[in-house]
Chains A and B, each alone.
Chain A
Amino acid sequence: MSQSKDPAIPSNCTRLTGSEIMWATLEGEGVREVFGYPGGAILPAYDALRKFPIRHILVRHEQGAAHMADGYARATGKVGVAIATSGPGATNLVTGIATAMMDSIPMLCITGQVSSKVLGTDAFQEVDITGVTLPVTKHNYLVTRAEDVAPVIREALMVAKSGRPGPVLVDITKDAQQATAEFDFAAAAPRPHRPHPMLRAESEEVLKAAEMIRAAKKPVILAGHGVIKSEAREQVIALAERLQIPVASTLLGLGGFPASHPLSLGMMGMHGEAWVNQAIQQSDLLIACGMRFDDRVTGSLATYAVHAKKIHIEIDPAEINKNVKVDVALIGDLADVLETLLPHLAARKSSAWVREVNAMKGECAVRDIQNLPDTGHLYAAHVMHDLWHATGGKAIVTTDVGQHQMWEAQYYKHEEPRTLITSGGLGTMGFALPAGIGAKIGQPDKEVWVIAGDGGFQMTAAELSTIVQENLDINIAIVNNGYLGMVRQWQEFFYDKNYESSPILSPDFVKLAEAHGIPGVTVRTRAEVLPSVKAARERKGPFLINFMVEKEDSVYPMIPAGSALHEMIRRPDHNPLIETAQDA
């Protein structure tokens, strides 16, 4: 959204309605696609839409609109825009807003509101949405006058993308949409954003960090979502290569550092491979880059990397020392901080530590699961691996939450930033399908795969219709095991296999797709995986594959919540898949 330009409507002393001002401002800010659903209190805005060169994607549920705007933002780096009416339309956005908040996604939600004269009277479809969303937005606004529409929207877009990004909601009353005001795009420009005054990466701290990095024998870089947001990939690669430092990624950091890079370890944390977590536990220096030491990453804090000094490079000062106490904090934009740090570091040729970490991977790291004997069972890991293989690791993959999400993170090797789109912090089921639609709208030339479990897919399956209406070429892979898989896994491990309410009945997903005019196929064996993926990729337009996978498979390794990072549950011996390190 950097190439803001003045909108088509001449800005000198033009009198427009609040609705027209809303679209003209969005247009002026470079917004070309919005996701939304009309209703009474936002109808004036919809009435004015046809005058503006903005594509509106009609969703089937407002949660879908929020996830689409989110997926759009993650795929493009631009601000995603979602629109809903007042009351239920607005509250339906909330899950999507909270998802974006937890993962720091720049998003603008515009909601209609009842007329300012009846605010607070429990009018039809009135809800205090600025009150409801206060803790899950970066900021929000209530607009009751047409003349405030342009400055508020411009400021909201700036707030959404500045600093640590996040969702912003603008609630516009119906009378503000209907009233007229002078529209001057340039005059509505917001004040420059106040940078957080506690940003700090002074030369003294940088020198101290550089000294720590030089002295470290067993350093590990922890690459988080910030690597992607700050577009610091180049700098992180430079840091890793110059000093031969292995790089572990968070779930949301996947793709930030190329998976095929010899220094890439893969995903850390609860379902990270054994060698990744062991490297972290044995490390003497963690260089945390744009991550926040989430509990899914650290396990028990008391036993987390106790031998390691910690350098935390992070844009949000409130994250410093929140979970893990650090020795040096460099607070600022990751790419900028690394630029100032790199000149202080000289190249190191080889590293005994890298050899040690590689030895931890053992032969397991090079064992391709494709070469394992076909036992007639279809495992989700097969599906992810084959999908990765068939797409060359280049597709944008959106996932839901649960087992399939972790298998995807383990077996789909992401090379490029913005190719894995998943709900990390909030863990929102039903995210994958709408996020995939948003990603495809934002990146129409990229191949998009939606991967969902049979449970999560049913939460937002109505958006299949949106795919057809918008004529989108999106492929859908359902990992169908007849269970809410991750719930079942926890019940197996921690609740005596009491599978209460985790077996889930699903419709025939292929027939469901066909009812929407989307062709599909059910796959039950390993041999059918690649041909079905090939068919999906070759067909122009959407395609759905229903993968009937092993019912009671679990994601390994697993660190039980609150346990130490090195105390993981390994894959049992009898399991035919022994592809993870140290599991054998």
Chain B
Amino acid sequence: MLHTFVALVEDKPGVLTRVASLFRRLNINIVSLTVGRSEKPGTSRMTIVSEASPSAGHRIMASLYKLENILQVDDIGQHSSVSRELALIKVAATPKTRSHIFELAEVFRARIVDLAPESLMIEITGVESKIEGLIQVLNESEDKILEISRTGRMVMRRGQHTSRVLDAMRVAGVETESITETPEQIAEEVDLPQ
């Protein structure tokens, strides 16, 4: 199964290697890893998605904490969270074949960020399934995908909602902790094209 960890780490040379080396040593494949500066000076936040047995989560988290440069680790698991990925997709398209790609982009709330005589570039943000969806539709409509670059999943836990917010989200009377939808389901409600 996929395990998602969000780690706050020191922003120093070699920290990424230490994290990656830990997964390599455990013979666990990293599916995606995103890293960038966090809100605290001198620290970065990583989202690490890995494919491992369901019971491996504890050991990975315990091992991550053994790295001196790791400040905090969160095993997202089924906690209520927001998940996003950004993808750039270059598609072969001439002036004649462009228009239906524009339509697709509209439906997926993607943006065209570059236009060349032979190709165009789509920028899409969302949960992975939404990006997979656009790629699949492009493939099915026989558009030639020239290049795909994806950031991998970034995940952040949802905040503690007040009851007014929950009312607005039409889950009145339900405590935040008891929201049972998976992050994907919540994300779908909010973001996916209908």
- Min CB–CB distance B51 → chain A (angstroms): 19
Q: A198-B65, A316-B66, A317-B65 are in contact. Are A135 and B59 (CB under 8 A)?
A: no
Task: Pick from A130, A135, A198, A317: contact of B14, CB below 8 A.
Answer: A130
Residue B21 lies at the interface, judged by CB distance under 8 Å to chain A = yes
Is there contact, CB below 8 Å, between A318 and B14? no
A289-325 near B? 1/0 per residue, CB < 8 Å: 0000000000000000000000000001110111000
Is there contact, CB below 8 Å, between A321 and B58? yes
Residue B68 lies at the interface, judged by CB distance under 8 Å to chain A = yes
Is there contact, CB below 8 Å, between A196 and B21? no
9 A–B contact pairs at CB < 8 A?
A138-B68, A139-B67, A139-B68, A159-B68, A194-B71, A196-B62, A196-B65, A198-B62, A317-B62
Is there contact, CB below 8 Å, between B18 and A134? yes
Q: How far is the CA of A164 from the CA of B67 in the complex (A)?
A: 12
For residue A130, which residues in chain B have a CB less than 8 angstroms away from its CB? Answer: 14
Residue B61 lies at the interface, judged by CB distance under 8 Å to chain A = yes
For residue B18, which residues in chain A have a CB less than 8 angstroms away from its CB? Answer: 134
Residue A197 lies at the interface, judged by CB distance under 8 Å to chain B = yes
Q: Which of B30-57 contact A (CB under 8 A)?
A: 55
- Min CB–CB distance B58 → chain A (angstroms): 7
Q: A134-B21, A135-B21 are in contact. Are A321 and B55 (CB under 8 A)?
A: yes
For residue B25, which residues in chain A have a CB less than 8 angstroms away from its CB? Answer: 135
Q: A130-B14, A134-B17, A134-B18 are in contact. Are A318 and B62 (CB under 8 A)?
A: yes
Residue B136 lies at the interface, judged by CB distance under 8 Å to chain A = no
Q: A318-B59, A320-B58, A322-B59 are in contact. Are A196 and B17 (CB under 8 A)?
A: no
Q: How far is the CA of A35 from the CA of B74 in the complex (A)?
A: 41
Q: Which of A381-416 contact B (CB under 8 A)?
A: none
- Min CB–CB distance B21 → chain A (angstroms): 6
Is there contact, CB below 8 Å, between A320 and B14? no
Chain A residue nearest to B14 in the complex (CB): A130
Is there contact, CB below 8 Å, between B66 and A318? yes
Q: How far is the CA of A198 from the CA of B55 in the complex (A)?
A: 16
Chain B residue nearest to A198 in the complex (CB): B62
* Given A318-B63, A320-B62, 19 other A-B residues pairs in contact with their CB atoms under 8 A: A134-B17, A134-B18, A135-B21, A135-B25, A139-B67, A139-B68, A142-B13, A159-B68, A164-B66, A196-B62, A196-B66, A197-B72, A198-B61, A198-B65, A316-B62, A316-B66, A318-B59, A318-B62, A321-B59
Chain A residue nearest to B18 in the complex (CB): A134
Count of chain B residues near A, Cβ 8 A: 18
Q: Which of B1-44 contact A (CB under 8 A)?
A: 13-14, 17-18, 21, 25
- Min CB–CB distance B41 → chain A (angstroms): 16
For residue A317, which residues in chain B have a CB less than 8 angstroms away from its CB? Answer: 58, 62, 65
Count of chain A residues near B, Cβ 8 A: 19
For residue B71, which residues in chain A have a CB less than 8 angstroms away from its CB? Answer: 194
Q: How far is the CA of A317 from the CA of B60 in the complex (A)?
A: 10
Task: Pick from A159, A197, A321: contact of B65, CB below 8 A.
Answer: A197
- Min CB–CB distance A319 → chain B (angstroms): 8
A316-356 near B? 1/0 per residue, CB < 8 Å: 11101110000000000000000000000000000000000
Q: How far is the CA of A197 from the CA of B70 in the complex (A)?
A: 11
Task: Spell out B's residues near A (CB within 8 Å).
Answer: 13-14, 17-18, 21, 25, 55, 58-59, 61-63, 65-68, 71-72
For residue A196, which residues in chain B have a CB less than 8 angstroms away from its CB? Answer: 62, 65-66
For residue A135, which residues in chain B have a CB less than 8 angstroms away from its CB? Answer: 21, 25
Chain B residue nearest to A163 in the complex (CB): B66
Q: How far is the CA of A511 from the CA of B184 in the complex (A)?
A: 75
For residue A139, which residues in chain B have a CB less than 8 angstroms away from its CB? Answer: 67-68
The residue among B13, B21, B59, B72 with the most chain A CB atoms within 10 A of its own CB is B59
- Min CB–CB distance B143 → chain A (angstroms): 44
Q: Which of A125-176 contact B (CB under 8 A)?
A: 130-131, 134-135, 138-139, 142, 159, 164
- Min CB–CB distance A229 → chain B (angstroms): 16
Chain A residue nearest to B25 in the complex (CB): A135
For residue B66, which residues in chain A have a CB less than 8 angstroms away from its CB? Answer: 138, 164, 196, 316, 318
Chain A residue nearest to B73 in the complex (CB): A197
The residue among B58, B61, B62 with the most chain A CB atoms within 10 A of its own CB is B62
For residue B62, which residues in chain A have a CB less than 8 angstroms away from its CB? Answer: 196, 198, 316-318, 320
Chain A residue nearest to B55 in the complex (CB): A321
The residue among B13, B59, B63, B68 with the most chain A CB atoms within 10 A of its own CB is B68
The residue among A197, A318, A320, A322 with the most chain B CB atoms within 10 A of its own CB is A318
- Min CB–CB distance B14 → chain A (angstroms): 7
Q: How far is the CA of A317 from the CA of B72 in the complex (A)?
A: 15
Q: How far is the CA of A159 from the CA of B13 in the complex (A)?
A: 19
For residue A318, which residues in chain B have a CB less than 8 angstroms away from its CB? Answer: 59, 62-63, 66
- Min CB–CB distance A236 → chain B (angstroms): 24
Top 10 A-B pairs ranked by shortest CB distance? A318-B62, A317-B62, A139-B68, A318-B63, A196-B65, A198-B62, A318-B59, A134-B21, A135-B25, A197-B65
Q: How far is the CA of A130 from the CA of B25 in the complex (A)?
A: 16
Q: Which of A83-142 contact B (CB under 8 A)?
A: 130-131, 134-135, 138-139, 142
For residue A321, which residues in chain B have a CB less than 8 angstroms away from its CB? Answer: 55, 58-59
Q: How far is the CA of A321 from the CA of B60 in the complex (A)?
A: 12
For residue A142, which residues in chain B have a CB less than 8 angstroms away from its CB? Answer: 13-14
- Min CB–CB distance A519 → chain B (angstroms): 47
Q: Which of A159-213 contact B (CB under 8 A)?
A: 159, 164, 194, 196-198
Q: How far is the CA of A164 from the CA of B18 in the complex (A)?
A: 18
For residue A159, which residues in chain B have a CB less than 8 angstroms away from its CB? Answer: 68
Q: How far is the CA of A80 from the CA of B66 in the complex (A)?
A: 21
Chain A residue nearest to B59 in the complex (CB): A318
Chain A residue nearest to B64 in the complex (CB): A318
Q: Which of A421-451 contact B (CB under 8 A)?
A: none
Chain B residue nearest to A197 in the complex (CB): B65
Q: How far is the CA of A131 from the CA of B21 in the complex (A)?
A: 10
For residue A322, which residues in chain B have a CB less than 8 angstroms away from its CB? Answer: 59
Q: How far is the CA of A198 from the CA of B71 in the complex (A)?
A: 13
Q: How far is the CA of A321 from the CA of B72 in the complex (A)?
A: 22
Chain A residue nearest to B72 in the complex (CB): A197
Q: How far is the CA of A142 from the CA of B12 in the complex (A)?
A: 11
- Min CB–CB distance A52 → chain B (angstroms): 28
- Min CB–CB distance A145 → chain B (angstroms): 14
Chain A residue nearest to B22 in the complex (CB): A135
- Min CB–CB distance B3 → chain A (angstroms): 15
- Min CB–CB distance B183 → chain A (angstroms): 23
The residue among B21, B55, B61, B65 with the most chain A CB atoms within 10 A of its own CB is B65
Chain B residue nearest to A139 in the complex (CB): B68
